[in-house]
Every structure is written in structure tokens, then in C-alpha cells.
Amino acid sequence: MVKKAPLSDFDTGVCLCFPRQGQFDPLKYLTGLAEAIQRRAGRIYTTDMHVEKIPGGLPICVETSSGKVVRTDAVVVATNSPNELTSVENK
């Protein structure tokens, strides 16, 4: 426990300090991850591809808000907030 985080513009109050905690640049990590996915013939859909539904079963048919359907063997739902898409199971 420390009295405050090492921030000059904001008083955090008491907080935890983890010495030697690993740090990384998330953009460098995501760039490397995207390159690795594409090297293995994977595709990344982002722009104008808002997923509406991921029904169970194989192949997976991801339904988008624009009416497109993406068929695949695997899907990664990467979000920082819970939603109904994160609980889909293949049957």
C-alpha cells in the first residue's frame, strides 16, 4: 500500500503498488497480433462490421448490422464491456 499513485495532476488517495510489474505498449502488441493473424491467412473485420448475432453451430455464421454474413470456424469477441455475444457457445 502506498499513500497515492505517482501522478502529479490527480490525487488518487491510498492505492496498491506492484513493484516490478510488467508493462507493455498495447498498440505495439495489437500491431504484432494483427500481423500474425494475417500471416496465417486470418482476416480481421473492424470498419462497418458491427456484429448483431453469432448463432451456435459450425461453421459459424456471424450476422452483421449491415446484413453481411461472415462464415468462419472461429470467432474472437474482443470487447471491454460484457454483452450477450460473449456467452455464445458452439453446439
Q: pLDDT per residue over 3-42, tens digit each?
A: 998 888 888 999 998 888 888 899 999 999 999 999 999 8
The count of domains in the chain is 1
Q: Are 51 and 85 in contact (CB under 8 A)?
A: yes
Residue 17 lies in a domain: no
Q: What is the pLDDT of residues 40-57, one digit of tens each?
A: 998 887 766 788 888 878
Residue 62 lies in a domain: yes
Residue range(s) defining the domain that contains residue 76: 26-87
Pick the range with the lowest mean pLDDT from 25-29, 73-77, 82-86.
Answer: 82-86
Residue 63 has pLDDT above 80, yes or no: yes
Residue 10 lies in a domain: no
Residue 37 lies in a domain: yes
Burial of 63 from C-beta contacts in 10 A (0-12 / 13-18 / 19+): middle
The span from the CA of 71 to the CA of 84, in Å, is 19
The span from the CA of 80 to the CA of 57, in Å, is 25
Residue 16 lies in a domain: no
- The residue count of the chain comes to 91
Residue 81 lies in a domain: yes
> What is the predicted pLDDT for the residue at 65?
84
Residue 48 lies in a domain: yes
The span from the CA of 72 to the CA of 49, in Å, is 15
> What is the predicted pLDDT for the residue at 2?
93
